[in-house]
Amino acid sequence: MATNERVFRMPFAGVYPMYLQKAARKGRSTDEVDAVIRWLTGYDAAQLQAHVDAKTDLQGFFAQAPAAEANAAKVTGVVCGVRVEAVEDPLMRQIRAMDKLVDELAKGKALEKILR
């Protein structure tokens, strides 16, 4: 559990640039990364930027999400050696789902297919 708590306290502003870099290396845009994150959380562009600026931790980022996507449960597969659908902690599952969506984007999957 200590590892989870450490991850939960990580600022979204620390993770977000890594998502952007990963996607950019594969020719994907910031707008596409933002679209994936906004789909998952319900944030609009201004709200997303506000969380980056405020350095909101991941726990707060997901807790304050205006509308968790109902289809987020359909995000399955392996990311960082972890099967997303097998993660029991709801917050960690949301974090892994976000990782998986950005991973799919970086692997060239069409945005329309990512946004189940």
Neighbour-count burial of 110, counting CB atoms closer than 10 A to its CB (0-12 exposed, 13-18 middle, 19+ buried)? exposed
Q: Is the pLDDT of residue 66 over 90?
A: yes
Closest C-alpha to 89, from 57, 56, 59? 59
Q: Using CA atoms, how far apart are residues 20 and 4, in angstroms rounded to an integer?
A: 23
Beta strand spans in 6-111 (E): 78-79, 82-83
Q: What percent of the chain has pLDDT over 70?
A: 98
Predicted TM-score (pTM) of the model is: 0.91
Which sequence spans correspond to the domains of the chain?
2-114
Check if the beta carbon of residue 105 is closer than 8 Å to that of residue 114.
yes
Report the mean per-residue pLDDT for the chain: 93
CATH fit for domain 2-114, picks 1.10.3720.10, 3.40.50.300, 1.10.8.290, 3.40.50.11890: 1.10.8.290
